[in-house]
Structure 1
């Protein structure tokens, strides 16, 4: 599967121990970490600080620069704005609710970005396949990654063709032309998908991607889930210790 530039906006190349872990191990670790964070009572402020230290430590082991996370964390801005408004709208209860959204949202975003920064999109799909994700989902994701760059290139060519014929997207009265271009791109993509599907059937497509990746041994799982064990210990302390 070819990899275009659009597929690696979140990935940071490296050869760290985190990069070398099988994708399925990192996916399970990220999921369990997020579940532990979500299950933590919002009043246990120290626990969220401990979670942040653990996430940052994993990022440092992976040698992913802070700037890589900072540039991609803007997806959280809407949640930050909601968290800021909560104390104004709900008083003390709103302040706790805002803190809950901010703390858990930030940790969830950082965990997801760490997973994406240390695992290529292709390996993520392989990891999901190794975890026995339904074949139809992994197939759709594989084809989406494969042809996302193709469709983006088609959109760029169509935009260039419109501009060369006098189209100026800055003016409001050009919205109709832009909308027709989006419709034409959809039709072309749909027709391309049908042709690709027929070509796959003619080559023996059975409805599922071939098994890829390697199985992770017990020692690999233990190494990959070590941060999760620490996270679970923090959660247990926060919940059980008065």
Structure 2
């Protein structure tokens, strides 16, 4: 799933917040969710309510997030299985014996994993890929990492488009991916795509060096962020952190 698919352009107050403010807020919110005790169901409900409020301000429908949150389905399946395969004391639920510890562990994975995915999707939905990289640079993330990530974002769609053209060419020549014995053609196509991508990377690098590449992408100047915008950006994460702190204090 590419970054362009995850981004939903808009002009809301959430979209207009500086990227590095949203990155800090999302990171803090994820840490608070992870630190929340699994027994504090009310705290997870509070976290979801905060997310719903942010989505409402951003103007992004719940269904948009629900469709993209399907990426966590494998973890959901694991969480569903744990009550039945977990050890320790067991209890009856609707006539079925389930493990108490397994049920709590499954709920812990389901609640924290889902909230973590939704927080990440919220950041991606309201922040463009280029803005995310600029925000990481403002947060002093190592230059090599941001440079590699920037080039990957720029050329990921090029490689996907070339893979799509190669697939169409195979289909025009009688290729039918439904048959197992044609898997070799797919494997050869992947190898050719790798070689073409490698050669393109070499050509692009040589062209960049010829144009004075110094090893770092230019960073556009950005105005300083005042305390009011920082407060507006981290307020949702602060609510999540307060809920987590109260839950830890009560347990």
Q: Please report the TM-score for the alignment, with normalisation by the length of structure 1.
A: 0.94
- Deviations 1:77-99 (Å, cap 9, x if unpaired)? 11111111111112001111011
Structure 1 gap ranges (5+): none
Correspondence for 1:98: 106
- Note if 1:204 corresponds to 2:212: yes
| Structure 2 unaligned blocks of 5 or more | 87-98
SS at 1:77 equivalent = helix
Identify the residue that residue 112 of structure 1 maps to in structure 2.
Answer: 120
Q: Map 1:119-198 to 2 at 5 A.
A: 119-198=127-206
Q: Please, which of 218, 222, 228 is the counterpart of residue 237 of structure 2?
A: 228
Tell whether the 8 Å contact from 2:29 to 2:238 is kept in structure 1 after alignment: no
**2:18 equivalent among 22, 31, 42:** 22
Cα deviation per residue 1:82-131 (whole Å; 9 max; x = unaligned)? 11111111200111101100110111111111111111111111111111
The answer as to whether partners of 1:127 and 1:213 remain within 8 angstroms in 2 is no
Secondary structure in structure 1 of the residue aligned to 2:220: coil
Q: CA deviation at 1:205?
A: 0.6
Q: Distance in 1 between matches of 2:148 and 2:13?
A: 30
Shift of 1:213: 5.7
Instruction: Tell me how far apart the structure 2 counterparts of residues 164 and 231 of structure 1 sit (CA, whole Å).
Output: 54
Question: 1:6 offset after TM fit, Å?
Answer: 4.9
- CA-CA distance at 1:160 after TM superposition: 2.0
Change in 2 beyond 3 A, CA 1:94/1:6 = closer
Q: In structure 2, what is the equivalent of residue 84 of structure 1? A: 80
What's the secondary structure of 2:170's corresponding residue? helix
For 1:153 and 1:237, how far apart are their aligned partners in 2? 50
RMSD: 1.4
